[in-house]
Amino acid sequence: MKDLRGAGVALITPFKVDGSVDVEALRKIVAFNIEGNIDYLVVLGTTAESVTLSKVEKQLVMRTVEEANQGALPLVIGIGGNNTMALVEELQTSDLSAYDAILSVSPYYNRPTQEGIYQHFAALSQASPLPIILYNVPSRTGSNMLPETVVRLAKKFDNIVAVKEACGNMTQVQELISKRPEGFLVLSGDDITALPTIVAGGDGVISVIGQGLPEEFSKMIHEGLNGNTEVAYSYHYKMQDGMKLIFEEGNPAGIKVVFEYLGLANPLVRLPLITASEALKHRIVSFMESMIRIPA
């Protein structure tokens, strides 16, 4: 398995005015992140609006990222949901040869018990041809995958190698870090807790804002991992307002405004999401204008 420590980013899916996938914009975003020293790319995560993409569109997104990346960075593919058997079939039948790991969100809406979550990922583990990164995001799934469940999965299944933890509770994150088996990665799933997670002993982040500020964000993460916390926090404090702003009206509406500002993509999202309000756009643009490169 390639190293998934450091700064990963959950790529958006840019759209054209006619609503179709903007392939050229996606290529530019991939190149922008490679040049910005991001460590790996996550394709078709929830930030990609994957639940509103057709199967054909998903294949187009995968092919586009693979071709634009040309093997430069490790690739992680999002394969998750609340229908366990459908996911098992997808894992068994998909061509995942271009990918290094799978990111799989804890089942949403069904609100399974901890045992149900465990059995769900046990089934995926047995079907998966690739290492699995668990994804805990209680604010979206309606259930919290507790540290004891994560640790149990990590100890039982060798191909469950990491967790993207977006519980928003640093006490839970610290418990997870302290109890995980050796070699199991704890990755932040919230930009605002990325550096605190690393300082607590975690291994990195799968970020949203990082794809729009790859140079600054990756610098923050790498300095944090190297123990240079003062330098790392100087980046964190510079970006923290943006970390909050981009989520004010839903993800990925905010980060798409960042890409509009950068001239890489337009800010369109698909229903039921709506494009960021003019008031929020103005605040995000003001934030981006304030971002001056911090000397290395």
pLDDT in tens, 196-247: 999 999 999 999 999 999 999 999 999 999 999 999 999 999 999 999 999 9
Average pLDDT over residues 101-129: 97
Q: How far is CA 64 from the centre of its chain?
A: 18
Q: Hey, what amino acid is at 155?
A: K
Give the residue-averaged pLDDT of 260-281: 98
Dist CA 262 CA 241 (whole Å)? 18
pLDDT of residue 296: 47
The pLDDT value given to residue 253: 98
- Whole-number percent of the chain with pLDDT over 90: 97
Name residue, tokens 């300095």: 223
Q: Name the residue type at position 256.
A: K
The pLDDT of residue 144 is 97
40, 99, 108, 135: the catalytic one is 135
Collapsing DSSP states into helix, strand and coil, what is residue 103?
strand
Is pLDDT at 293 greater than 70 in this prediction?
no
Does residue 281 carry a catalytic annotation? no
Closest CA relative to residue 255, chosen from 213, 195, 206, 222: 213
pTM of the model: 0.96
Q: Which of 164, 238, 256, 281 is catalytic?
A: 164
Residue 95: CB partners within 8 Å, gap ≥ 6? none
Strand segments, DSSP code E, in the chain are 6-10, 40-43, 75-78, 101-105, 132-136, 160-165, 185-188, 204-207
Q: Is the pLDDT of residue 97 over 60?
A: yes
**What integer pLDDT is reported at residue 3 of this predicted model?**
86
* Burial annotation 29-54 (CB, 10 A radius, 16+ → b, else e): bbebbbebbbbbbbbbbbbbbbeebe
Chain-centre distance of CA 131, in angstroms? 16
40 in active site: no
Is 84 a residue whose pLDDT tops 60?
Answer: yes
Low-confidence winner among 64-78, 132-146, 281-295 (lowest mean pLDDT)? 281-295
Supply the DSSP symbol for 239.
H
Return the amino acid letter for 86.
A
User: Cβ distance 114 to 122 under 8 Å?
Assistant: no
DSSP state, residue 95: -
pLDDT at 15 over 90: yes
Burial class from Cβ neighbours inside 10 Å (0-12, 13-18, 19+) for residue 105 reads buried
Longest dimension (CA), the chain: 50
Spatial distance between the Cα atoms of 293 and 296, rounded to a whole number of angstroms: 9
Whether 41 has a pLDDT exceeding 50, the answer reads yes
The pLDDT mean for the chain works out to: 96
Cα distance between residue 255 and residue 268, in whole Å:
11
Amino acid at 247: F
